[in-house]
Amino acid sequence: MNLTLYPLGDYIQLLQKHSLLTNFSGAPLTREVSLVSCDSRQVVPGTLFICKGAHFKVEFLQSAMEQGAFAYIAEKPYEGVDLPCLQVTNVRLTMALLADFYYNHPSGKLSVVGITGTKGKSSTTYYLKYIFDEYLAAKKQKPSGVVGGIETYDGVERFEAHLTTPEPLDLERHFANGVSTDMRYLTMEVSSQALKYDRVLNVEFAAAVFLNIGTDHISPIEHPDFEDYFSSKLRIFAQAAAACVNLDSDHADRVLEAARKSCSRMITFSTKDPSATIYGSQIRKVGGDILFKVKTPRYSREFRLTMPGLFNVQNALAALAVCEALGIPEQYAFAGLMKARVPGRMEIYSNADEKVSVIVDYAHNKLSFETLFQSVKEEYPGRRVVTIFGCPGYKAYDRRKDLGEISGKYSDLVILTEEDPGEEPVENICKDIAQYVEKEGCDYTIVPDRGEAIRQAVLGSQEPTIILLTGKGAETRQKRGIEYIDCPSDVEYAKQFLHEYDVLHGMDGMSKVRALLDVLPLLRRYEGRTMVIKYGGSALDASSTDTILEDAAALQSVGVRVILVHGGGKEISALLDRMGVETKFENGYRVTDQAVLDGAEMALSARVNKSIVGALDRIGAKACGVSGRDGGLITARQKEEKLGLVGAITKVDPRLLTTLLDAGYLPVVSPIARSEDGAALNCNADDAARAVAEAVGADKLVFLTDTDGILVDSHNQSTRIAKMDVARAKELIDSGLIAGGMIPKTMNCIHAVEHGVGSVTVLDGRMEHAVLLESISEKSLGTTMEKKR
């Protein structure tokens, strides 16, 4: 980044202006400050070093001096360090002022949205990020930034976070990174600690959101009482242009009063008060989605959330309030909320028969716990409930009582475990919580090792069980002592032990594949049926290539009539490159003149096709390679004149394929078609597979791709839609929930099912034995579409 650097004298004047400086004798006033830092590992020559923190040691200052620091700031001078000391009365306030000054006040060049509240900050932050990114993508601008307790992304850096709001020097660096990369919006979580101790001092908020207030973070090292906690949160409005306030929050009148004193614009939101600027109503579940009506000054329409948890409507309304304040058009808010996902927030994982389900969530305080249990009670009635959680060390002592009582009231079993214990022994924390669980008459156990606690909960489930795994979400570090130690996330633990549960109970698909002889009886149910597999792209390039062909051979061996239709775009590009033929693309299609077509036909029909046939032959399959031109198998017309010799399929004559299948062969088809005048045309392999499946009346069509199925958000594998019928698929496309590159995949599925194919499955072809696993697994893999029964 390009920063304007200032001499030390300017920093001294700033501190004098705020009456913070008590002594600066010997300071070289004209020397330029190249960096302001409190981390001795980052010091460069010309650094102004800040001594701060309860764990600060003089060795850190000595190291900074050796690396080139020329002066330091501290609340007291350190003996034996031959550097000028700028002695201040409040090092926290000093650091915030200097961070903003050094980075040239970057928040003034961004639209920064600050979100505070006892619960919901992370979800609202990500809802806004999805909305902003939809809006920015339409304008061909770079994605928005996010700074919070889950993740930080500032256009330059992306990493897992461990502080809700970073220290000032880090925070201002993130803003400056955003400015340097032309970032337009950045959404951040603002904690009560950050507001109390001036971490966000001088940050300009385009909008400040107040979600709710409850009792939390009350401890000797955080807030001594609720009043201190509440008043700290209200400080956010002093730095905001617009205030977005939840009228449904406790103490809403006091929040509104604080906002009106400082903010030039007020946006309110509510699910109870129709007079709110943003009013949500008619909240209901439809299938796995949450629908709700929204009325604003600009529009009235229905919105859809595809992330579970009815309580998320409040967070969505908060995001819409910000959109109202910043003028974000409604279509981007609609699309963003539909696609939105929050890592580690209400993520649901189940074993093969869904007897055991694990909800991974960041819930960690009274409000979020109460909301989570209410949602689970409504959505999973009658299920045994096991709750796994802990509390951080030496802080938020009231939380231990609150969470112990709530979990004890609603759970059948509570397992207490590690959750960022810091310098307090895990067993001591768990015993403190246990007394409140026990008072509610609930069984509990203490298992300090978090992984072992999760394992015991999953493997110990003998009846339908919902396991609430709270507090850590997708985090991959535990705070032990003063350090953050790498560890598996709750998501990783949940998947690992649910898989182990399935293995122990004989429901593990992979173990069945590895013991093929045991699986053959399961596969024989497909005997006599016809399956078309589109094989290509990433599936063709992946290390799982041989296992896909093994799957096809295994299916053929039990009497399944298998047809492989392959692509080979990379092979075409490589061959054309060697031939010196230039390749151009238009709307995803390869512009094809005669030279390109000759190369494509050579790559597909000669090289790729024969390579697949040879591989099948080596594993004992009886295969025969054919081109779409052979026997008039595939006929096409020119798709568009500007694309050249690219074909749109008009007809498939299945007689050649039927003859081969009846003779026990596995046809391998390359997508080179015959034009009406007998010439060749290059066709899309997906289109060819779909047309072939329709022509032979296939019972099943499998598209092997490089995704986990059809996704709501193509960048987020957790948004996979497991099953749907044609009507649901069309609804998702019309509503914008399925968009971009997912639309052609979905349209091919719809066309196939509407034209006689029994079912269509979109699978990740990079997965080992993907086809066999999908055929025998009791759990849905990828996305399957079939007619509504």
**562: closest CA among 480, 479, 614, 624?**
624
Element holding 177 (H helix, E strand): helix 168-180
What distance in Å separates the CA atoms of residue 354 and residue 579, rounded to the nearest whole number? Answer: 54
Query: What residues does 682 pair with on adjacent strands?
Result: 646, 672
Strands 265-270 and 240-246: parallel
Query: What residues does 523 pair with on adjacent strands?
Result: none
What distance in Å separates the CA atoms of residue 429 and residue 416, rounded to the nearest whole number? Answer: 9
Strand order in the sheet with 158-160: 158-160, 151-153, 145-147, 185-189, 111-116, 205-210, 240-246, 265-270, 278-286, 289-295, 300-305
* Catalytic residue status for 662: no
Task: Name the one residue in this structure whose structure tokens are 């819930």.
Answer: 363
Residues 6+ apart with CB under 8 A from 104: 3, 4, 176
In this structure, is the dihedral angle defined by the CA atoms of residues 410, 413, 414 and 417, taken in order, positive or negative? negative
499-502, long-range: CB < 8 A, 24+ apart = 500/455, 500/458, 500/459, 501/351, 501/356, 501/458, 501/459, 501/461, 502/351, 502/352
Contact present, 583 and 576 (Cβ < 8 Å)? yes
Residues 6+ apart with CB under 8 A from 184: 110, 111, 132, 136, 141, 142, 144
What distance in Å separates the CA atoms of residue 641 and residue 326, rounded to the nearest whole number? Answer: 44
For 315-334, b/e burial (b = at least 16 CB within 10 A) is: bbbbbbbbbbbbebebebbb
Q: Is 396 helix (H, G, I), strand (E, B) or coil?
A: coil
- Residue type for 599, please? G
Residues 6+ apart with CB under 8 A from 99: 36, 168, 169, 171, 172, 173
Burial of 607 (0-12, 13-18, 19+ CB in 10 A): middle
Burial of 215 (0-12, 13-18, 19+ CB in 10 A): buried
* Catalytic residue status for 569: yes
Active-site residue, selected from the candidate residues 100, 686, 708, 713: 686
* Catalytic residue status for 140: no
What distance in Å separates the CA atoms of residue 485 and residue 471, rounded to the nearest whole number? Answer: 16
Phi, psi of 128 (to 5 degrees): -65, -40
Active-site residue, selected from the candidate residues 537, 644, 647, 782: 537
In this structure, is the dihedral angle defined by the CA atoms of residues 161, 163, 164 and 165, taken in order, positive or negative? negative
What distance in Å separates the CA atoms of residue 564 and residue 430, rounded to the nearest whole number? Answer: 57
Angle 764-769-770 from CA coordinates, rounded to 5°: 30
What distance in Å separates the CA atoms of residue 348 and residue 334, rounded to the nearest whole number? Answer: 24
* Catalytic residue status for 686: yes
Q: Where are the alpha helices (DSSP H) in 46-120?
A: 58-67, 91-102
- Residue type for 490, please? D
Active-site residue, selected from the candidate residues 196, 233, 479, 534: 534
Active-site residue, selected from the candidate residues 155, 567, 568, 569: 569
Phi, psi of 287 (to 5 degrees): 65, -130
Q: Where are the alpha helices (DSSP H) in 223-265?
A: 226-234, 252-262
* Catalytic residue status for 534: yes
Half-sphere exposure of 749 (CA within 13 A, CB side): 30
Residues 6+ apart with CB under 8 A from 614: none
Active-site residue, selected from the candidate residues 745, 764, 765, 782: 745
What distance in Å separates the CA atoms of residue 646 and residue 321, rounded to the nearest whole number? Answer: 48
Angle 189-194-200 from CA coordinates, rounded to 5°: 80
**What does the block give as tokens for 525?**
């149910």
* Residues forming the active site: 534, 537, 569, 686, 745
